[in-house]
C-alpha cells in the first residue's frame, strides 16, 4: 500500500509538471496567434489567454465527471478561483513594475469581478446544482464572451505581427492534447491519494490540484507583468475566474449524474466571494499598494488553515 501511494504521488507531481509545461506551450502559441491575426490585448487576456490557461481545469473537469470524481473538480473550480486571486494576483501585483491601473481597465474589470462574486452567492442560495443551473451558467459565459468582443472589437488598422497563424494553431493543438493526457493521470492519482489518506476529494481538489492547475496563470501572468503588460495579466486572471465559475462549473452540472450540494462546499464558496470582493475593492483604488498583496496572501493562508481544520474535524488524515 505504501508503494502504491508513493507511486501515485510521483505520478501526480510528474503530470502536474507536464500539465504546466504543456499549458504554457499552448498559451504561448495562442498569444502569438492573436498577435498575428491582430486581436486586441484586452480580448486576448479576457477570452483567449484566460480560456487557454483554464484548459487544465477544463480537462480535469471532464475526466472527473466521467470517472465519478466530481468532488475533485468542484474543489478545483472554487479552489482555483481562490488561488488565482489570493495567491497569483497577489504575487504579480506585488512584483509589477506598473503601480497604476488605468480607468479603462478598472471599468472593464469591475463588472467581471462583481459577477464572479455574485454567482457563487446565488449558488449558495440555490443550495443544490442542477442541469438548469448548468445551462444558465453556460449562457452567462456566452454573454460574457459576446460582451467582451462587442465592446472591445479589434481595430482593423491594428499592426499585425509576422508569422504563420496556422502554425501557431497547430502548436496550440499539440499543447492542449498534452494538457488533456496530463489531466487524466492527475485525476486518477489524486483520487487514489484521497481514498488512501482520508482527505476529502473537495479538499484535495481545492488545494493541491487547484494550485497545480493554476500554475499556467502564474507563469504567464508573471511574464506579462515583468514585460509591463499588466492589463493582459489582470484580464487573464479575472477572465479565468469567470471561466471557472461559469463555463467549467456549467459543463460539470450539465454532464454530471451526481447530485451536487453547494451547502457542503459553503466554506470554499464563502472564500471565493471574499477574495473577489476584496480584489474588486483594490481594483477600485486604481493604484497598486503593497498592503493589497499582503491582504490577499493573508486570505489565502486563512483559507488553507480553515480547509484543513475542517478536514481534521470531519475525519482526520490517514497516513
Region 297-315 average pLDDT: 79
Band (pLDDT 50/70/90 cuts) for residue 314 is low
Question: Looking at the domain assignment, is residue 12 inside a domain?
Answer: no
Q: pLDDT at position 157, please?
A: 53
> What is the spatial distance between Cα 260 and Cα 257, in angstroms, rounded to a whole number?
9
Q: Look at phi and psi of residue 199 and say left if phi exceeds 0, alpha if psi is from -120 to 50, else beta.
A: beta
Write out pLDDT tens, residues 202-247: 666 666 667 766 777 777 777 778 778 788 888 888 888 899 899 9
> What is the spatial distance between Cα 105 and Cα 86, in angstroms, rounded to a whole number?
20
Region 107-128 average pLDDT: 89
pLDDT above 70 covers what percent of the chain?
A: 83
Question: Looking at the domain assignment, is residue 126 inside a domain?
Answer: yes
Residue 216 in contact with residue 23, Cβ under 8 Å? yes
In angstroms, what CA-CA distances link 237 with 20, 45, 56, 83, 90? 16, 8, 14, 10, 11
Question: Looking at the domain assignment, is residue 2 inside a domain?
Answer: no
Q: Which of the two residues, 210 and 288, has the higher pLDDT score?
A: 288
Write out pLDDT tens, residues 126-165: 888 888 999 999 999 998 888 877 766 644 455 666 777 7
Question: Looking at the domain assignment, is residue 13 inside a domain?
Answer: no
Q: Which grid coordinates are listed for 184?
A: 487524466
Question: Looking at the domain assignment, is residue 134 inside a domain?
Answer: yes
Q: What is the DSSP letter of 263?
A: T
Q: pLDDT at position 80, please?
A: 85
Question: Looking at the domain assignment, is residue 182 inside a domain?
Answer: no
Write out pLDDT tens, residues 61-108: 887 777 767 777 787 788 889 988 999 999 989 988 888 888 888 888
- Give the least confident one: 24-33, 119-128, 168-177: 24-33
Q: pLDDT at position 153, please?
A: 62
Please state, rounded to an integer, the average pLDDT across all residues of the chain: 80
Question: Looking at the domain assignment, is residue 159 inside a domain?
Answer: no
Region 261-268 average pLDDT: 81
Q: pLDDT at position 96, please?
A: 86
Question: Looking at the domain assignment, is residue 7 inside a domain?
Answer: no
Q: What is the CATH number of the domain that holds 94?
A: 1.20.1420.30
Instruction: Enter the pTM of the model.
Output: 0.77
The most confident of 22-26, 93-97, 315-319, by mean pLDDT: 93-97
Write out pLDDT tens, residues 156-201: 455 666 777 788 878 878 887 887 677 667 767 776 766 666 666 6
Q: pLDDT at position 114, please?
A: 92
- State yes or no: pLDDT of 319 exceeds 60: no
Q: How many structural domains comprise the chain?
A: 1
Q: How many CB atoms lie within 10 A of CB 157?
A: 7
Of the CA atoms within 13 Å of residue 80, those in its CB half-sphere come to 36
User: Counting beta carbons within 10 angstroms of the beta carbon of residue 53, is it exposed (0 to 12), middle (13 to 18) or buried (19 or more)?
Assistant: buried
Q: pLDDT at position 195, please?
A: 62
Residue 47 in contact with residue 239, Cβ under 8 Å? yes
- Give the structural domain span for 242: 41-51+70-151+198-314
Amino acid at each position: 500500500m505504501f508503494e502504491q501511494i508513493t507511486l501515485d504521488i510521483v505520478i501526480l507531481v510528474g503530470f502536474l509538471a507536464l500539465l504546466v509545461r504543456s499549458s504554457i506551450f499552448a498559451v504561448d502559441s495562442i498569444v502569438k496567434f492573436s498577435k498575428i491575426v491582430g486581436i486586441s490585448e484586452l480580448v486576448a487576456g479576457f477570452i483567449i489567454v484566460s480560456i487557454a490557461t483554464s484548459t487544465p481545469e477544463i480537462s480535469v473537469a471532464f475526466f472527473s465527471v466521467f470517472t465519478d470524481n466530481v468532488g475533485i473538480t468542484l474543489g478545483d473550480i472554487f479552489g482555483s478561483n481562490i488561488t488565482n486571486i489570493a495567491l497569483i494576483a497577489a504575487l504579480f501585483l506585488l512584483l509589477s513594475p506598473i503601480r497604476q491601473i488605468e480607468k479603462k481597465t478598472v471599468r472593464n474589470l469591475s463588472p467581471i469581478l462583481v459577477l464572479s462574486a455574485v454567482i457563487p452567492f446565488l449558488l449558495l442560495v440555490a443550495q443544490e446544482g442542477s442541469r438548469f443551473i448548468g445551462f444558465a451558467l453556460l449562457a452567462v459565459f456566452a454573454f460574457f464572451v459576446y460582451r467582451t468582443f462587442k465592446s472591445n472589437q479589434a481595430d482593423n488598422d491594428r499592426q499585425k505581427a509576422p508569422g504563420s497563424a496556422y502554425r501557431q494553431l497547430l502548436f496550440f493543438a499539440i499543447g492542449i492534447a498534452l494538457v488533456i493526457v496530463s489531466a487524466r493521470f492527475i485525476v486518477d492519482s489524486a483520487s487514489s491519494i484521497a481514498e488512501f489518506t482520508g482527505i476529502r476529494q473537495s479538499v484535495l481538489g481545492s488545494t493541491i490540484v487547484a494550485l497545480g492547475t493554476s500554475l499556467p496563470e502564474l507563469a504567464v501572468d508573471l511574464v506579462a507583468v515583468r514585460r509591463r503588460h499588466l492589463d493582459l495579466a489582470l484580464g487573464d486572471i479575472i477572465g479565468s475566474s469567470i471561466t471557472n465559475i461559469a463555463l467549467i462549473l456549467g459543463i460539470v452540472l450539465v454532464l454530471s449524474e451526481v447530485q451536487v450540494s453547494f451547502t457542503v462546499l459553503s466554506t470554499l464558496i464563502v472564500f471565493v466571494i471574499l477574495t473577489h470582493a476584496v480584489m474588486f475593492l483594490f481594483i477600485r483604488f486604481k493604484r497598486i499598494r503593497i498592503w493589497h498583496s499582503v491582504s490577499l496572501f493573508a486570505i489565502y493562508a486563512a483559507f488553507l488553515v480553515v480547509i484543513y481544520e475542517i478536514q481534521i474535524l470531519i475525519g482526520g488524515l490517514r497516513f
